[in-house]
Amino acid sequence: MLRFIIRRLLITIPTILIVITIAWGLVKLAPGNFYSGEKRLPPAIEKAIREKYGLDKPWYQQYGKMMWAIVRHGDFGTSLRYEGQSVNTIIRRSLPVSAAVGILAYLLALIVGVTAGSIAALKQNSRWDYSSMTLAMLGISVPNFVLGPILVLIFSLSLYWLPPSRWGGFPSRNLILPVITLSAIYMAYIARLTRAGMLEVLRSDYIRTARAKGLSERDVVIKHALRGGLMPVVSYTGPALAFLLTGTVVVERIFALPGLGNYFIQASLNRDEPLIIGIVAFIAITLLLMNLLVDIAYAYLDPRVRY
Amino acid sequence: MSTDPDLIHIPPETAITEGEFVRGTSLWRDAWRRLLKNKLAVFGLIVVVLITISAIIGPTVIKRTTGFTPDYIPTDDIRLIKSFPPFTGPDGKFSWTHPMGTDNAGRDQFARVLQGGQISLFVGIISTLVSLLIGVSYGAIAGYVGGRVDNLMMRVVDILYSLPYVIVVIVLLSMFRSQTARGQLVLLFVALGAVSWLTMARIVRGQVLSLKNQEFVMAAKATGVSTPRIIFRHLVPNTLGPVIVYATLTIPQVMLTEAFLSFLGFGVQAPLASWGSLASDGIQNIAIFPWQLIFPGVTMALTLFSLNFLGDGLRDALDPQMRTV
Amino acid sequence: MSKQKQIGLLLLLASIALAAISCNTSTAKEAFFGKTVPPDRNIFRYVTGDEPESLDPAISNGQPEARIYMALYDGLVEYHPKTLGPVPALAERWEANNDSSEFKFFLRHNGRWSNGDPITAQDFVYSFRRVVTKETASRNAYLAYYIKYAQPFNEQKVFVRDPQTNQFLLAKDFDDSTPPEPIAGAPLDGAKPEYTTADNSQTEHDGDFHKQLHTPLRLTIPGDAKGRNKLLDANPKLKAAMAGKELVPIQAEDIGVSAIDDYTLRISLVQPGPFLTGLLAHQAFRIVPQKIVEKYGANWTQPQNIVTCGPFKVKTWQPYDKLVVERDPMYWDAATVKLDEIHFYPMSDNPTIMNLYKVGEVDAVLNHTVPNAWLEVVKTKQDYMDGVEAAINYLLINVLHPPMNDVRVRKAFNYSIDKEAWAKWRKVVKPLTAFTPEGIFPDYPQPKGDPFNPEEARRLMTEAGFPVTKRADGSYTCPKFPVDQVEYIYNTQESNKAMAEWMQAQWKQNLGITISLRNMDWKTFLNVRAKLEYKGFARGAWGADYMDPFTFLSLFYTGGENGSGWLDPKYVAMVDEANRMLDPKKRYELLAKAEKFLIDAQPIIPLDTAAVNFVKKPYVKGMYPNAGSLYAWKYVYIERDPSKWDYGIPSLAE
């Protein structure tokens, strides 16, 4: 197990460096720069700006300088578009926003999804089962960029109950619609996964044994069946995180939230090289670590798994 | 075998037991019968077929009957260059001309939604095919050859798997906006196809691993069949079950990814319209013209809904023991 | 059973949709757009535009930043809330010499930074020098180029001095095109008073620096060897004169700003600049705290370090989210400031902004925010703000390339565009036939250009050698016109494409000529246009840097990069003469004559004057839809008595 973890961590580092290099390469190859505005700048001023940001040095010097700073100090530099703000500061500032929405969404999805899925499994083929599974299918099929605006249309623009966009701090009314929008698809997936997992477990021998032994239905469900039902949910966490990331980008755009996803899109559009690379690297590290954690958790949950 | 991380990670429904393959060709007929018994899947199949047909011939039919193409702007009458609600004519009274209303330039929404369907389905299918081709070949080769080559190939997959793919795709698409709409589509195929081939490779590899020690493979090897033939003529056809299942899972996923990329502005460019770009256009005016979002959104949801039901049904049909996700 | 559930669900969805649609159309009856309830606290929530690049007023040239800078920083003068003319701020009064080439500003004594330090003339000297220092990389440095030696200093040029005599080479000896020296550049002459007012600076505060500024303009040549050699090779007279001379880099201390004493500032210009006081309200000329900037460097604008001097100071700043500023009790005019806080929301997506406004989450938004499609609904509301903007749209013509070098051809193309129809199509602009925005400058006798006259257009085109004939079906044709020698270029954007196609349709309809369109990305477009690498027409637009017609007319003052290749010394002379006038009325008359000369020469096809097009809640008072969309925040307040609200557009009359 320990060897597995160490091996995975060792692979992580070159992976991240490769990711950074790819992102840097793409940004460098692209046409355009970050200071093109409406008024054409006199050449002397343009030259001054280029020198100030080190853009006039040859490409290998820029690459070397960047990599050295990253590897040595974890310093991803300063944003090109935003004066005086280091990439690390920006990430630090925007991460809580994305994390808040993402974690809340996932928690909501877990609670509602597991509950609905379990009940559906226990009451298989009942009306509850069919309707909740159909709703779950809707949740998977309605894209978040359709669901979000419809929720905004009803609860904000027509009823004036909730704000249509923007971040209001934590906690605030502004969180409600984005969290619901983001969690819908996961709620659906988790409900279906839980139902499938529980159904499989409920059919198995050891549940029959537990029932035969006279355990109350409640104990059977909570102590045994649920555990089996949760396993696919846990193994889904890896891909779920990846979806959460892309879902967050869309939700942050729709609701104008100052999160990592929104910054990333802005940076891509602005050709803000250090910020793009910083965010990409951060996301890569997070994904890799989370995947590792999921694998470890899976090992604990399923004694058959050995690394 | 059980220590191979690939096999453990594959969701239970794709692990096909040995017994399946002994059944041979009647697998497909049995599967079809099972599919038809599933009412939801049949519903899904009908809707998908309907939408596909209307997406393919719809724009032409509309053009012949009403003269509206997805990009036709009625420039001769300035009263018509505005967004009409569904079934409303210029004077505000009921009219059959625009069942889904018009967008801000007076373009017929119905024609646009159908064209969006064309593009979305087209992109979905082609990208899935791309990822299929790459993934199946890669996985089959890795599984059959085994040993160090297999190890290396799977390490590459591991590394690629852990890349924040969509993020890199966004950077790629934002940096290299193609000048033509067609060029952008090609970029999209490449980007989207590249996202989903990894899991396909893993699945196929898993299958091939469990198949390659079977008797029919050994027989082929004994009679001197070359390795490529063994891989592609003997092994791959037997993996088609899970491949089809995964493909039907992938199409809606790819369509969703394309839609959200177009929504963000990185995907399909004007003058072509995909449901994602129609939705992002529609959201702009949702405060006063909500139908611009609702129709493309509902159509897309309906299509994905049906595709998912169909996929569920196919999975059930191909192996009842593979319970759905 | 499940199918019923599905159908039921779909019906539910449909009914929700219908309900939502009907909810929305009921807003047609309301007087205002959306919820109209004043906030509980005395705070003003405003969407200012894109996320500000920086809180350093020297750096950025965008409008969103400008409005924030106006809250945080003060300058010699402030923009008048209605006319945008100069209103005394840190300067109580000022004087100009007889040809407006030298100005003296008398500062108030009670100016304070937000940390309590007094504001002195030295702060202005420091800030002005900083704006034109190359390392600052300010995008606004060019606005300060009117100040003597500011431009060569910014471009890191050098003086040329004879080490033996300590004399500098003079510009006029080597460049025939140097315009005549303004009074501020001629040697001090006690016999001829420079100022017509009582305070004659020549007798009182004459330091060495002032005397030195009052010498003819020194020659400046590029500081880098490559540029210098290029110049010298082209100019043998200069090369010969360089023998035995030394190069002296231009320092910040050489530029024409000086503090005569703690509360008097002198600015010396390189040409007459009657428009200077209007220009000085621009953020480039607002002051920054020297001690703080020197101590913290690039981090001086961080909320924990920043020190400001405007009516408000920074309370909190979360980038991409909110900039909260609160009233500054140290501000010299704090008594006038009514608001307790302003919340600046950085957003640029118009529908999102309008949605926030509708739900009542913000109180006012920036200009150009109401999307075209919404105008039909929003324009009828009483919180819709309309008004002309100090910005124009036009087409540039490359006059160096035949057939566009024939003025008759150019005029024909101009005559065949119906500007009224264009304005109607665009909905928010006003048609324009001249080169300055219409109705912006009060008392400016703006000339009228040629109206829409397709007959005249065809006549001129025929006269120029490209006969236009009418076909049987009523359309026109002009077969002789070399369409391969003319194109229309624009930068890629949906609205520009629509505009190009509209122009193309007009010319086809009225002249029978189909011009080909070519689009390219912004950066390439700027380059191609500036270098005149196009044949025919290029899209153009310009917004005022300051409230004076010269900010537009100056585009053709130099040949340089006006994108048209048209340069007429007669025009330059007319503008120079106008700028030398001290009487503003006479100056306007001469500027208008120059403008008429310009539009008659037709290097451009004028199209429209932009409009402000935004919304503000009726309880927000003191905020006027002026031509620059720049608001002096100290005059803005929240009115809670509905009878005193703004019903409709508040008048811009003084």
* Cβ contact, residue pair B309, A137, below 8 Å: yes
Residue B226's identity, in one-letter code, is S
Question: Helix, strand or coil for residue C320?
Answer: coil
Question: Token digits for C31?
Answer: 């007087």
One DSSP character per residue, A186-210 reads: HHHHHHHHHHHHHHHHHTSHHHHHH
The minimum CA-CA distance between C207 and chain A, rounded to whole Å, is: 32
Looking up tokens 């000022």, which residue turns up?
C94
* Cβ contact, residue pair B288, C372, below 8 Å: no
Looking up tokens 């795709």, which residue turns up?
B169
* In chain B, alpha helices (H): 5-9, 18-22, 26-37, 39-66, 109-145, 147-161, 165-175, 181-211, 215-222, 227-229, 236-238, 240-264, 275-284, 291-318
Backbone angles phi, psi at A13, to 5 degrees: -65, -55
Report yes or no: C6 at the B interface, CB cutoff 8 Å.
Answer: yes
B295, closest residue in chain C (CA to CA): C17
Query: Which residues make beta-bridge pairs with B108?
Result: B102
Q: Is the pLDDT of residue C113 over 90?
A: yes
Report yes or no: A19 at the B interface, CB cutoff 8 Å.
Answer: yes
A175 contacts: CB under 8 Å, gap ≥ 6 = A100, A101, A104, A168
User: 10 Å Cβ neighbour count for B38?
Assistant: 18
Residue C254 · residue C131 · CB < 8 Å: no
Report yes or no: C21 at the B interface, CB cutoff 8 Å.
Answer: yes
pLDDT the model gives residue A84? 63
Question: Helix, strand or coil for residue C78?
Answer: strand
* Cβ contact, residue pair C137, A84, below 8 Å: no
Report yes or no: A269 at the C interface, CB cutoff 8 Å.
Answer: no
The minimum CA-CA distance between B128 and chain A, rounded to whole Å, is: 18
Report yes or no: A157 at the C interface, CB cutoff 8 Å.
Answer: yes
Give the count of alpha carbons within 13 A of C71, CB side only: 26
Burial level of B142, CB count in 10 A (0-12/13-18/19+)?
Answer: buried
Report yes or no: A1 at the C interface, CB cutoff 8 Å.
Answer: no
What is the C-alpha separation between A252 and A102, in angstroms, rounded? 11
Report yes or no: A48 at the B interface, CB cutoff 8 Å.
Answer: no
Lowest-pLDDT range of A187-191, C158-162, C521-525: C521-525
**Between residues A193 and C293, which one has the greater pLDDT?**
C293
Residue C171's identity, in one-letter code, is A
Residue range C588-625, pLDDT digits in tens: 999 999 999 999 999 999 999 988 889 999 999 999 99
pLDDT the model gives residue C284? 93
Report yes or no: B300 at the A interface, CB cutoff 8 Å.
Answer: yes
Report yes or no: B12 at the A interface, CB cutoff 8 Å.
Answer: yes
Question: Token digits for C435?
Answer: 């080169």
What is the C-alpha separation between C313 and C333, in angstroms, rounded? 13
pLDDT the model gives residue A182? 93
Element housing C66 (H / E): helix C63-72
Query: Which residues make beta-bridge pairs with C78?
Result: C87
Give the count of alpha carbons within 13 A of C13, CB side only: 19
Q: Is the pLDDT of residue C193 over 80?
A: no
Query: Over the Cα atoms of chain C, what is R_g?
Result: 28
* Mean pLDDT, range C193-204, rounded to an integer: 62
Residue C81 · residue C626 · CB < 8 Å: yes
Q: Is the pLDDT of residue C310 over 90?
A: yes
Distances (CA, A) of C319 to A93, C59, C64: 9, 17, 14
* Mean pLDDT, range C247-255, rounded to an integer: 92
Burial level of C577, CB count in 10 A (0-12/13-18/19+)?
Answer: middle
What is the C-alpha separation between B286 and C24, in angstroms, rounded? 10
Q: How many residue pairs from chains A and C have C-beta atoms closer than 8 A?
A: 123
C496 contacts: CB under 8 Å, gap ≥ 6 = C490, C519, C539
Query: Over the Cα atoms of chain B, what is R_g?
Result: 23
Looking up tokens 């529980």, which residue turns up?
A198
Question: Helix, strand or coil for residue C88?
Answer: strand
Question: Token digits for C447?
Answer: 């000339």
Q: Is the pLDDT of residue C20 over 90?
A: no
A192, closest residue in chain B (CA to CA): B325
pLDDT the model gives residue B244? 79
CA dihedral A79, A84, A85, A87 (to 10 degrees): 40
* Cβ contact, residue pair C373, B287, below 8 Å: no
Q: Which residues of chain B make contact with C358, given a CB cutoff of 8 A?
A: 287
What is the C-alpha separation between B238 and B244, in angstroms, rounded? 11
Sign of the CA dihedral C356, C357, C362, C366?
positive
Question: Token digits for B53?
Answer: 């047909």
Chains near A with 3+ CB pairs less than 8 A apart are B, C
Q: In chain B, which among 267-306 make CB contacts under 8 A with chain C? A: 270, 283-291, 294, 298
Distances (CA, A) of C379 to A91, C155, C385: 41, 48, 8
Q: Which residues of chain B make contact with A16, given a CB cutoff of 8 A?
A: none
Residue A268 · residue B177 · CB < 8 Å: no
Q: Out of C54, C302, C361, whose CB is closest to A166?
A: C361
**Between residues A47 and C635, which one has the greater pLDDT?**
C635
Question: Helix, strand or coil for residue A69?
Answer: helix
Residue C195's identity, in one-letter code, is Y
Residue C274 · residue C582 · CB < 8 Å: yes
Residue C413 · residue C515 · CB < 8 Å: no
Q: Out of B39, B78, B288, whose CB is closest to C24?
A: B288
Q: In chain A, which among 126-165 make CB contacts under 8 A with chain B? A: 137-138, 140-146, 149-150, 152-153, 157
* Mean pLDDT, range C43-63, rounded to an integer: 87
B4, closest residue in chain A (CA to CA): A307
pLDDT band (50, 70, 90) for residue C471: confident
pLDDT the model gives residue B15? 40
Q: Out of C20, C35, C321, whose CB is closest to A153?
A: C20
* Cβ contact, residue pair A283, B164, below 8 Å: yes
One DSSP character per residue, A211-266 reads: HHTT--HHHIIIIIIHHHHHHHHHHHHHHHHHHHHHHHHHHHHHHT--SHHHHHHH
Q: Out of B164, B298, B304, whose CB is closest to A245?
A: B164
Question: Token digits for C176?
Answer: 């025939």
One DSSP character per residue, C517-548 reads: EEEE-HHHHHHHHHTT-SSEEEEEEEE-SSSS
* Mean pLDDT, range C543-551, rounded to an integer: 84
Residue to mutate among A33, A34, A45, with most C CBs inside 10 A, is A45
C373, closest residue in chain B (CA to CA): B104
* Cβ contact, residue pair B43, C3, below 8 Å: yes
Helices A226-255 and A273-301 cross at an angle (nearest 10°) of 170
Distances (CA, A) of B250 to B13, B170, B304, C234: 15, 19, 11, 68
Q: How many residue pairs from chains B and C have C-beta atoms closer than 8 A?
A: 44
* In C255-346, alpha helices (H): 276-279, 290-296
Backbone angles phi, psi at A272, to 5 degrees: -85, 85
Q: Is the pLDDT of residue C455 over 70?
A: yes
Q: In chain C, which among 75-134 make CB contacts under 8 A with chain B? A: none
Residue B125 DSSP code: H
Q: Is the pLDDT of residue B16 over 60?
A: no
Query: Measuring CA to CA, which residue among A117, A121, A100 is closest to residue A174?
Result: A100
pLDDT band (50, 70, 90) for residue B231: confident
* Cβ contact, residue pair C17, B294, below 8 Å: yes
Q: Tell me what ipTM this predicted complex has.
A: 0.76
The minimum CA-CA distance between A163 and chain C, rounded to whole Å, is: 7
* Cβ contact, residue pair A256, C352, below 8 Å: yes
Report yes or no: C494 at the B interface, CB cutoff 8 Å.
Answer: yes
The minimum CA-CA distance between C26 and chain A, rounded to whole Å, is: 10
Chains near C with 3+ CB pairs less than 8 A apart are A, B
What is the C-alpha separation between A46 and A36, in angstroms, rounded? 9
Which stretches of chain A drop beneath a pLDDT of 70? Answer: 30-56, 81-84, 228, 238, 301-307
A44 contacts: CB under 8 Å, gap ≥ 6 = C134, C154, C155, C156
User: 10 Å Cβ neighbour count for C297?
Assistant: 10
Q: Is the pLDDT of residue C400 over 80?
A: yes
Chains near B with 3+ CB pairs less than 8 A apart are A, C
Q: Is the pLDDT of residue B8 over 90?
A: no
How much is the pTM? Answer: 0.76
Q: Which residues of chain C make contact with A39, given a CB cutoff of 8 A?
A: 61, 139
- Edge-to-edge strand order for the sheet containing C158-161? C220-221, C158-161, C246-249
Give the angle subtended at the CA of C591 by the CAs of C586 and C597, to the nearest 5°.
130
- Of A125-129, A200-204, C22-26, C461-465, which has the strongest mean pLDDT? C461-465
Element housing C261 (H / E): strand C257-261
pLDDT band (50, 70, 90) for residue C122: very high
Residue B271: asked if its preceding bond is cis (omega within 30°), the reply is yes
Report yes or no: B3 at the A interface, CB cutoff 8 Å.
Answer: yes
pLDDT the model gives residue A13? 79
A134, closest residue in chain C (CA to CA): C6
* Cβ contact, residue pair C9, A134, below 8 Å: yes
One DSSP character per residue, B176-245 reads: ---SSHHHHHHHHHHHHHHHHHHHHHHHHHHHHHHHTTSHHHHHHHHTT--HHHIIIIIIHHHTHHHHHH
Q: Out of B104, B284, B290, whose CB is closest to C24?
A: B290
A188 contacts: CB under 8 Å, gap ≥ 6 = A113, A135, A136, A137, A138, A139, A140
* Cβ contact, residue pair B284, C351, below 8 Å: yes
Give the angle subtended at the CA of A163 by the CAs of A88 and B293, to the nearest 5°.
95
Q: In chain A, which among 95-134 make CB contacts under 8 A with chain C? A: 127, 130-131, 134
Report yes or no: B43 at the C interface, CB cutoff 8 Å.
Answer: yes
Q: Is the pLDDT of residue B278 over 80?
A: yes
What is the C-alpha separation between C257 and C132, in angstroms, rounded? 12
What is the C-alpha separation between C365 and C620, in angstroms, rounded? 11
The minimum CA-CA distance between C351 and chain B, rounded to whole Å, is: 5
pLDDT band (50, 70, 90) for residue B22: very low
* Cβ contact, residue pair A258, C321, below 8 Å: yes
C641 contacts: CB under 8 Å, gap ≥ 6 = none
pLDDT the model gives residue B4? 40
